[in-house]
Chains A and B, each alone.
Chain A
Amino acid sequence: MDGTSFPATRTTCPYCGVGCGVLARPSGPIAGDPAHPANQGRLCSKGAALGETLDLPDRQLFPEVDGKRASWDAALDAVAEGFRTALAERGPEGVALYVSGQLLTEDYYAANKFAKGVLGTANIDSNSRLCMASAVAAHTRAWGEDVVPGCYEDIELADLVVLVGSNLAWCHPVLHQRLLAARAARPEMQIVVIDPRRTATAEGAELHLPLRPGSDVALFAALLTHLADQGHDAPDAAEAVSEARRIDAPALTGLDPALIARFCTMFAATERVVTLFSMGVNQSVAGADKANAIINCHLLTGRIGKPGAAPFSLTGQPNAMGGREVGALATMLAGHLRFSEPAEHAAVAAAWGAPALPRKPGMIATEIFAALGQGRIGALWTMATNPAVSLPGSAGVRAAMERAPLLVASDVTRASDSMVRARIRLPALSWGEKSGTVTNSERVISRQRGFLTPPGEARPDWWAIAGVAARFGRADAFGWTGPADIFREHAALTGLVPEAGRIFDISSLADLSDAAYDALAPLRWGPRRYAPARARLVPTPWRPPANMADAVHPVTLLTGRLRDQWHTMTRTGPVPRLMAQHPAPKLALHPEEAAAIGAVAQIEGQGETALVGVTADPGLPHGVGFLPMHWSDVYAPSGRSNPLVPVAVDPVSGQPELKHAPVRVSPWPARWFAAVVARVRLPDGAAPLLSRAPLPGGLWRHDLAGQSDPAEGFAALRRALDAPGLVWRLLAAPEAGLFRGVAFDAAGAPAAWIALAREAPGPGFDWLAAAFAGGPADAALRRALLAGQAALGPPPSPTICACHGVSRAAIEAAITAGAETVAAVGGACAAGTGCGACRPEIAGLLAAPLVAI
């Protein structure tokens, strides 16, 4: 039976903050929801591959305590006991929760209520701290409440779209497609990209300003000054403007003054301007200042809350906004209510029946883990997050997690770098199983609806939280029967103090029936466009970045995301086609520096060392590298970025400066490189440089390098892969350092494949995967396997279009055959006709002279 015979479930994508609607079936295709306002039917490569993530490997199927399977009752008893002990020994300061923008609003609400209302601690923070905290702080400083003033339509209506610290093309691909479609319809529309790196988003932009990492405040000071000089004025603007005038933008940004002037002129001349900003702004010790510097320019010109005019923060996670709404952050109380207002505090305490409700903010993410490392936290519960990979200074985070008296972790995977360190593991529901609401970057609340039966004993997070609360004697306050109950309670809370005058007030939904909740259509809170009645231009004096290059660490390492990966890869990592374009983490450097370093770089920072391959990127300036932040021990133990990042946080927002780190990059002279395809994963110690990526058919590919003698390196790999019953076909040219091996099982089917050489081998992995899938190999295939390709087969070529699996070679062939536009390439080979995120790369291939072969 094919899955299309099931009715599709309307739900919401679990990835970025665009919040696309999807139509899902248990085993059928996943499609964009044409009726959803965020995407109107579009999907990106990750969203389009959601159907391939429904059967996650390494699923946590039942509760575990101390590595042993336990019943839910026993596990929740252990959680309650652990927290009770920690409270008794250390008080409310000695317990904490660390949650996630992956949680649904209802789970978020339950976690916040449990922490603040039951444990009496404000030590609950979310990984949104790493993502959005600076924007939250900026909004609050500017107009008193965390309200994003624009909506997605504004991006299409703008005449100028400024992207600051946002690789929209890769990180919010559907919005990027909407932007490009709008510009195609109105060619006069202009795009400016402000980013140290020339990203895919910068392809086709009118202007790219490659400013120094962390210098955005200076650039927007120049803009504010220019706008003031043009006669723009606003109440209370004087201080911010005079502060801006003190800043020497060309010196601090390193930008050509003419380029800055051109940007200022464009901005000043355009009434309809939207400034989109994201992680490149927020992840900074001056993140809140950067966001306010941007907002100031919009406030001074009145370009806010109007069609096509707004400063616009894009959230990273599907429900970062939901977490902000329920206040599941150490710096917020609940709803949009504040610790600092006695009336608001009293109202929440009364509503929750929580006399011990904390009166001041608790520890933020980095503080929680620092305290954990110092032995000041006795019990920590993490949910749907992977701090062992995602936090800065993650080596220290790991040590702290290993030292924790009680670490409880709720997640869907049992294999993440964080889950393996937890004492109590609780099986959570995955996307497609859980049910509730999420809020996207434009304040639209959408339902996520389950359409799959949860496997094993997986349960909703709110249910687990309620179970522990009941063990604290608070069953009364956590007696929900489903997410609708929680949603109604949350909605009611937002109207608890009407005199607070919050924009975020959804108390009209507090009486929503179960049926109406189930049928809830996407719904925006607050006005479509928010023009604050009273707003403040926050003075943003120049503060240099904390993570600055110096003599010892002369390279600034940018961290960021790839098009086809999500966070720490727990969901996207197992999908072969999402791994195809970037199967291993690579350090991108300016081509001259890449050539000087060679194939493998050793990156040192924070006393930690990463070992990664090197790739040349002409879009990077000298002295700046880029390393994706996704990789974890599961996929590349030597290639994690965040151990290299010092812990430095914004004093205003508490957001860590994850975007860049001072590092030393040196050549790592490998004596051999190897590629391995096997039915098993090579263990961590198999080689100093090791990355793993899934291939179709349950296979793993590995990219490796070593400094041992090539013969020894090969022998070690062979030993690691050998098993009783395997026989090997081997090729050896020892003096050339060249070794190949294919292992066959008793039936003659290939089981493992090694190619080792002095230069990185480039086999055709698609072909290998197909060859492995074919069962016992005949004589010709045995030989072809050793070659790594069919006789006279096409040379290997990386995948560019993830949606349709189109290789660079196929795109180049289409171009050679006469395709002159991105659309023509799409017509010839389908590349770029899915999510469209690869269109900038196709454009790049069209622009590049084809090298004759």
Chain B
Amino acid sequence: MTQILVIGAGPAGARCAQACAERGLRVKLVGAEPGLPYDRVALGKVLGGAAPSVLALPDPAARGIRYQPDTRITRLDRAARHAITADGGSLAYDRVVLATGSHAWRLPLPGADQPHVLLYRTLADVAAMRALARASVPAVVIGGGLLGLEAAAGLAALGCAVTVLHAMPWLMERQLNAEAAATLRRHLEARGLRFVMPAATAAIEPDAVVLKDGTRILADIVVLAVGVRPNVALGDGLAVKRGIIVDDYLRSTDPDILAIGECAEHHGQVCGLVTPALAMADVAAANLAGVPIRYVPPTLSATLKIAGLPVWSLGEIAPEGAEPITVEDADYGEYRGLWLRDGVLVGAVLCGDAADSGFYQGMLGRPIGDRAALALGPAWHKAAA
């Protein structure tokens, strides 16, 4: 029976292993981190004080998957079809799925290697943050993206005086337009967070972050949340650009090696969200089971809750030349942005109330009918004939 080896026990790897098992394949899942696979997307809850168990994904062993934690794969011996572990062991495979994900990027700043400079990616990172966080301790989060804001909100909830430094003019610029980001910023400011943006960081000192304009911002904790880089070390010998290049069947240039999730690059795109990663996991399992399915990237949507504020975005955000429709209720912390091209919905942002996200997901690519009704939501909308 064909032996499938899934390397990486994040959400994509765990899901792929499970899908393989459900299709009757013999599958082994290995992860570099100790313990059971966990849901990295929900790390913020642990930062907020919840037990790590809230992150538990289904136990692989319970599903007939052989699971091996704490196992770092250093290279693939493609000729022998063996994966070589850090401690020199080897795992045989017939086909392998790389789900190695990505790692948080440590900015190459002077002082970035000090102990109080943390990343926000793993349970261990979260444990380190919690160890340093105390009431009134000044903290700086560098990066006003999704993860940075989650870390910042978490630290603020722990009592830290948090300043977020962001290189771009507004927060979460990949998921939000300026107006939605402003709503989010007001919401976070109301909870005590401070923002400096656009901010250019020059150096990290033991008790402060220094900006290029000389401003010093006191910080006993610094969290770097300036993005992730795909883990592509195991792609040695395969075609790799930013990620490991895969075709529509998620095969790398070696057809026995598939890649999914954040380490894979499909048609020039490297995903950074869980929805496409999980979709890739399912497609990979089907292909491994002999059911050829092409991977079609789902339109990106991100559902977040940042310090209690639901934020959701879908598709193209404020693209050039698109027609905007907006709903704003600044006092109520609500913002809704929709973008149409040729009368068809191509992107949406919901801030403050994301209850209609499913409706807009369904409207994507469809003629939208009455604009006001579209903006008001499903309770008022009759689909265009």
Contact = CB atoms under 8 A, between A and B. Distances in A.
A783 B324 CA distance: 19
B331 A727 contact: yes
Contact of A792 (B325, B329, B380): B380
A735 B324 contact: yes
Interface in A720-741: 727-736, 738, 740
Nearest to A736: B371
B331 A731 contact: no
Given A779-B332, A783-B377, A732 B353 contact: no
B375 interface: yes
Contact of A732 (B326, B373, B380): B326
Contacts of A377: none
Contacts of A728: 328-331
B371 A733 contact: yes
Given A736-B371, A783-B377, A791-B380, A729 B323 contact: no
A744 interface: yes
A786 interface: yes
Contacts of A787: 372-373, 376, 379-380
Interface residues of B, number: 20
Interface string B307-336: 000000000000000011111111110100
Contacts of A226: none
Interface in A731-789: 731-736, 738, 740, 744, 757, 779, 782-783, 786-787, 789
Given A730-B327, A733-B371, A735-B324, A782 B332 contact: yes
A32 to B, nearest CB: 44
Contacts of B380: 787, 789, 791-792
A783 B376 contact: yes
Contact of B353 (A731, A779, A792): A779
Given A783-B376, A791-B379, A792-B379, A730 B326 contact: yes
Contacts of B326: 730-733
A495 to B, nearest CB: 72
Interface residues of A, number: 22
Interface in B142-190: none
A748 to B, nearest CB: 9
Nearest to A731: B327
Contacts of A736: 323, 325, 371
Contacts of B329: 727-730, 782
A839 to B, nearest CB: 35
Interface in B36-71: none
A211 B331 CA distance: 61
Nearest to B322: A735
A374 B377 CA distance: 63
A378 B375 CA distance: 62
- For the complex, would chain B's binding face be called helix, strand, loop or mixed by DSSP majority? mixed
Interface string B250-275: 00000000000000000000000000
Interface in B326-352: 326-332, 334
A731 B372 contact: yes
A727 B330 contact: yes
A789 B377 CA distance: 13
A107 to B, nearest CB: 54
A744 B329 CA distance: 10
Given A735-B323, A779-B353, A791-B379, A729 B372 contact: no
Contacts of B324: 732-735
Contacts of B373: 787
Given A738-B371, A779-B353, A787-B372, A729 B379 contact: no
Contact of A738 (B330, B372, B379): B372
A79 to B, nearest CB: 54
Contacts of B327: 729-732, 786
Identify which of B372, B375, B377 gathers the most chain A CB atoms within 10 Å of its CB. Answer: B372
A730 B334 CA distance: 10
Nearest to B372: A738
B34 to A, nearest CB: 44
Given A735-B324, A736-B323, A786-B327, A729 B332 contact: yes
Contacts of B330: 727-728
Contact of B325 (A733, A744, A783): A733
Contacts of A791: 379-380
A783 B353 CA distance: 11
Given A779-B353, A783-B377, A732 B331 contact: no
A792 to B, nearest CB: 6
Contacts of B371: 733, 736, 738
Interface string B354-385: 00000000000000000111011101100000
Contacts of A731: 325-327, 372, 375-376
Contacts of B332: 727, 729, 779, 782
A790 B327 CA distance: 17
A733 B372 contact: yes
A814 B327 CA distance: 38
A75 B371 CA distance: 59
Nearest to A777: B332
Nearest to A734: B324
A735 B325 CA distance: 8
Contacts of B353: 779
Contacts of B334: 729
B152 to A, nearest CB: 26
Given A727-B331, A779-B353, A787-B372, A732 B377 contact: no
A419 to B, nearest CB: 41
B376 A733 contact: no
Nearest to B338: A733
A351 to B, nearest CB: 72
A744 B331 contact: yes
A782 B331 CA distance: 11
A736 B329 CA distance: 20
A783 B350 CA distance: 14
Contacts of B376: 731, 783, 786-787
19 contacts: A727-B330, A728-B328, A728-B329, A729-B331, A729-B332, A729-B334, A731-B327, A731-B372, A731-B376, A732-B325, A733-B325, A733-B375, A738-B371, A779-B332, A783-B376, A786-B327, A787-B380, A791-B379, A791-B380
Given A728-B328, A732-B328, A744-B331, 6 more contacts: A730-B326, A730-B329, A733-B371, A738-B371, A740-B372, A782-B332
Closest 10 CB pairs of A and B: A791-B379, A727-B331, A729-B329, A733-B325, A733-B371, A735-B323, A787-B376, A730-B328, A731-B327, A787-B380
